[in-house]
Amino acid sequence: MDCLFCKIVEGSIPAKVLMETDNVLVFHDIQPAAPVHVLIIPKKHIASMNDVTAEDLGVIGEMHQAAQQAARKLGVDQSGYRLINNCGPDSGQAVHHLHYHLLGGAKLGALTG
């Protein structure tokens, strides 16, 4: 499948991995938008939040657990961080493999919409 994040999971495209579990991968964003910017993805290909099924709820929970652990590892658990999912064209979703952005390490701007 021609999916960038599946290729990162397979190891055919390199990434700076922060954490890995059986079902979840956390790696640094190639173009960080904040001092701390990692991406949390399921290893299984799920195209977007719209494509999450009841079967995927376990891995969604694991992604949240990984976000909590990543924030701690990166030293932003107390200072604070933001977890963002982009879904669909209006959000600017560019990679069609479900992911959360974890952003922190500085005072973040207000959300706009």
Among 70, 69, 52, 51, residue whose Cα is nearest residue 60: 52
- Phi then psi for residue 105, to 5 deg, are 90, 0
Residue among 24, 27, 34, 98 that touches ligand 5GP (CB under 6 A): 27
Spatial distance between the Cα atoms of 69 and 62, rounded to a whole number of angstroms: 10
Contact string 6-45 vs Zn ion (x = CB under 5 A): x--------------------------------------x
Token representation of residue 18: 């922060």
State the number of CA atoms in the 13 A half-sphere of 9 facing the CB: 22
Binding residue for ligand 5GP (CB under 6 A) from 6, 29, 47, 82?
A: 29
**How many Å apart are CA 105 and CA 103, to the nearest integer?**
7
> How many residues line the site for ligand 5GP (CB under 6 A)?
14
The listed partner (Zn ion, ligand 5GP, none) that binds 93, CB under 5 to 8 Å by sort, is: ligand 5GP
User: Which positions lie near Zn ion, rule CB under 5 A?
Assistant: 3, 5-6, 45, 97
User: Which positions lie near ligand 5GP, rule CB under 6 A?
Assistant: 4, 13, 15, 27-31, 39, 86, 92-95
